[in-house]
Amino acid sequence: TTAATVLGIETSCDETAAAVVRRRADGGAEILSNVVLSQIEEHAAFGGVVPEIAARAHVEALDGIVRAALGDAGITLGAVDAVAATVGPGLVGGLLVGAMTGKAIAAARGLPFVAVNHLEGHALSPRLSDNIAYPYLLLLVSGGHSQILLVRGLGDYERWGTTIDDALGEAFDKTAKLLSLPHPGGPNVEIMAAKGDPTRFALPRPMKGEARLDFSFSGLKTALRLAAEAKAPLSDEDVADLCASFQAACAETLADRTRRALARFRERFPDIAGPVLGIAGGVGANKAIRAALAKECETAGFRLVAPPLKLCSDNGAMIAYAGLERLEAGLTDSLDAPVRSRWPL
Ligand code: KG4
Ligand code: ZN
């Protein structure tokens, strides 16, 4: 298929998203539209994502979001070559809404359907944003995942490290909740951290120095809770200092894990001239974390590819793009493709 155009649908968590991506003549990919509707307000009162509310909100919003994605792209379904939808991992109710909608469009228009793994969408996003070559390293840090992946090729991944307890975004969200900051926690912790002193509270740097590339954040979370309880009632300054100290601990831990991963990549691929570390996942939006990673990459001679924030957090363009690569490789799926709450890459 040359210059294929793919409609992508993403409904695995609390974003209803659809996008259109097209292969360009120069080999790169072009995002024709990327529409994301966040359900933050629907879940705000609960301090986290409520699966049943999420599924119902996807049902209500998805048709309009797909229409908006086609409209923004300036095309109709007649110009679409395949429909891709996230079928896992994620919340099953939302996955069903996206998968059924994608399959229905594919069936009605006689188009191929591509069942996409959400993690593959994140893993390939540096190729969407910067057209980089395989293989490369990817640091995926989101609300549900903290992983270091070797991306060798399409569908060909090696997980070098993962979290043994909480995901990094989850740790940010729990920290926010503990400090009575609004949901979603990550951006609010970052805002408070900007006003705080990162050296005031001595929090642990979990896993730092360990040879294996895994993460752990629950000990850090507990240390933060104990520090907060010891200071209660907390002033605004205390909260800012706790956020800054927490964020610094996260950035330092991530930098340590990343340094080791870059060294291992060098050993494994000594002949690759311009090695790349890509970032994906919502925590990739954090400026302190980006700065820490940029420093590690500079020292190790890696290029850091940090896609625009809209491609780091959950979106339909990364799903459309993964669908495009799969379509080009002849990897389409039947309309029986199931949804899966758990689906490691
Ligand atoms: O990738 P994403 O949009 O959704 C998935 O989890 O798949 O990531 C959302 C996560 C949330 O935990 C959110 O708190 C975190 O990313 N996050 C941040 C920032 N922006 C979003 N964490 C730290 N600093 C940020 N600026
Ligand atoms: Zn995600």
Residues with CB under 5 Å of ion ligand 2 are 142, 314
Does ligand 1 have an atom closer than 6 angstroms to the CB of 14?
A: no
Q: Whole-angstrom Cα distance, residue 237 to residue 340?
A: 44
Residues 172-211: tens digit of each pLDDT: 999 999 999 988 899 999 999 999 999 999 999 999 989 9
Q: Whole-angstrom Cα distance, residue 89 to residue 338?
A: 11
Q: Whole-angstrom Cα distance, residue 81 to residue 324?
A: 9
Residue found under tokens 């969200």: 173
What is the four-CA torsion angle of 152, 156, 159, 165, rounded to 10 degrees? Answer: 140
Q: Which ranges constitute the DSSP H helices of 110-214?
A: 118-130, 168-178, 185-193
The domains located in the chain, with CATH, are 5-127+311-328 (3.30.420.40), 134-310 (3.30.420.40)
Pair 62, 94: CB distance under 8 Å: no
Which stretch of DSSP H or E encloses residue 74? none
pLDDT for 184 equals 80
- The reported pTM is 0.94
The single-letter DSSP state of residue 163 is B
pLDDT at 106 over 60: yes
The CA 316 to ligand 2 mean position distance, Å, reads 10
197 is in an annotated binding site: no
The crossing angle, in degrees rounded to 10, of helices 287-300 and 236-268 is 30
Position with higher pLDDT, 327 vs 44: 327
What is the four-CA torsion angle of 142, 146, 147, 151, rounded to 10 degrees? Answer: 0
Does ligand 1 have an atom closer than 6 angstroms to the CB of 185?
A: yes
Inter-CA distances, 223 with 182, 203, 205, 246, Å:
21, 6, 10, 10
The crossing angle, in degrees rounded to 10, of helices 317-328 and 118-130 is 90
Residue 2 binned pLDDT confidence (cut-offs 50, 70, 90): low
Q: Whole-angstrom Cα distance, residue 271 to residue 258?
A: 20
Pair 67, 16: CB distance under 8 Å: no
Average pLDDT over residues 115-128: 97
Q: Which of 137, 128, 117, 146 is nearest to 318 (CA)?
A: 128
Residue 1 binned pLDDT confidence (cut-offs 50, 70, 90): very low
pLDDT for 47 equals 72
pLDDT at 94 over 80: yes
Does ligand 1 have an atom closer than 6 angstroms to the CB of 187?
A: yes
Mean pLDDT across the chain, nearest whole number?
95
